[in-house]
Amino acid sequence: MTTPHPPQSLRRDAQVIGLVGLAHGTSHFYHLLFAPLFPWLKVAFGLSYAELGLLMSLFFVVSGVGQAVAGFVVDRAGAWIVLMAGVGLLGIAAFALAASQNYPMLMLAAATAGLGNSVFHPADFTILNRRVSVPRLGHAFGMHGILGTMGWATAPVFLAGLATLIGWRLALLAAALLTFAILALLTANRALLDTRELHAAVAGKGAAQGDVLGFLRLPGVWMCFAFFFITSLSLGGIQSFAPSALVELYGVPVTLATSSITAYMLASAAGMIAGGFLAARTSHHERIIAGAFAVAGALCMLVASGTVSPATTILLLALIGFGSGIAGPSRDLLVRAAAPRGATGRVYGVVYSGLDVGMSIAPLMFGAMMDGGHPGWVFVAIGLFQALALFTALGLGGSTQRARTQPA
């Protein structure tokens, strides 16, 4: 478990949370670097939808592999310098995509963006755990998730809007310049984010140095990985095919169905705020997760039934997002509890790679359901994955409670 640190001022904690959250929002912005520009890229390069989809898969595969490795680099070199490298790689990827002349260059840009994206979870959570006062960590994790969600919400508007006005290449150039402006801001505030002195202090107090892979033998780490993998399958289904499923299942207009994702994301952000307050008031974080996912899963089954009104489906998607958001801060605190002293970056890197693995699989799986003419199955599967995540969270909570009662 990570070492507690002394209380700090609210202002300092807020500055750290804001800066790390801004970096996380940048990461999520780049998750959608390609998708909003698909109509332009398809025409410019004569690509099929399969070739466009492969760019997204390449992004998440590189990110998933890189994330596990990035955790080790964070623990050895320090979170701040790894975070800066990630932001820089994202900016380079946007420049590379803007300058692309053929499909291999697009793939290289996607791989570069995936590599840049890989560092954020191990670096962000290492900084938050070491630079934010323990009583405010629940709020810190909640705001971290909210700003990530805002990155998702901003990317389509920013990229598609500028591409319509000035062309897709200049839109990407603007994204790159914005990214390097954020990099400059983070660099100017290095003193708030650099954890290397704290890392040395932790190591001097007995952090394990010889067995760098010892954390992989902890059941809690793999339960965390399983939890993130399962929840990302659910999220991937919502992001990729929930609107299409609503159109086929309920005859919802495309514009209204697409707005369901916006409703989900905004409600998820609101849920993270509420979840931060709940997480700050209990040590039984698995109960919060279980309750949130139980409600969200039941609502998914209600949508899958096809018995509610079309307008009600948007409200239900928002409630599902709110439930998922509530679970976010408690989820991140459970991972913190599972991390051995001195191995924060490694643990977050490995367990969060489960997100990328799930996100790379979900579109293929849910796409097959849609191709088979089973839009209701999309919401059934989403609900089932949330139920599975519920049981994984309960098991993880039990393992971390046992770990707390064992002598150090």
Q: What is the mean pLDDT of residues 35-52?
A: 85
Q: Is residue 4 situated within a structural domain?
A: no
Say whether both 344 and 275 belong to one domain.
yes
Confidence of residue 4 (pLDDT cuts 50, 70, 90): very low
pLDDT digits (tens, 9 = 90+) for 213-227: 777 777 778 888 888
Residue 3 lies in a domain: no
Which of residues 204, 229, 264 is at a domain's end? 204
Whether residue 406 has pLDDT greater than 70: no
Q: Is residue 407 part of a domain?
A: no
Q: Are residues 247 and 131 in the same domain?
A: no
**pLDDT greater at residue 359 or residue 400:** 359
Residues 174 and 251 in one domain: no
The answer to the question of residue 210 being in a domain is: no
Which of these three, 148, 172, 204, is where a domain ends? 204
Counting the structural domains of the chain, the total is: 2
Task: Tell me the angle at which helices 310-338 and 285-304 cross, rounded to the nearest 10 degrees.
Answer: 150
Shared domain for 298 and 178, answered yes or no, is no
* Same-domain status, 228 and 293: yes
Query: In this structure, is residue 57 part of a structural domain?
Result: yes
Check if the beta carbon of residue 206 is closer than 8 Å to that of residue 39: no
Question: Which residue range is the domain that position 367 belongs to?
Answer: 215-401
Of 145, 129, 140, 151, nearest to 271 by C-alpha is 145
Whether residues 125 and 40 fall in one domain: yes
Is 2 within a domain? no
**273 and 253 inside one domain:** yes
Is 5 within the bounds of a domain?
no
Residues 6+ apart with CB under 8 A from 357: 60, 64, 229, 232
- The pLDDT of residue 369: 86
Whole-angstrom distance, CA of residue 264 vs CA of residue 392: 23
Of 150, 173, 204, the last residue of a domain is 204
Specify the amino acid at residue 304: A
Specify the CATH number for the domain of residue 277.
1.20.1250.20
The tens digit of pLDDT for each residue in 196-211 reads 655 554 444 444 444 6
Same domain, 65 and 86: yes
Same domain, 197 and 228: no
CA dihedral 73, 76, 77, 83 (to 10 degrees): 40
Is 322 part of any domain? yes
Q: Given a cut of 90, is residue 254 above it in pLDDT?
A: no
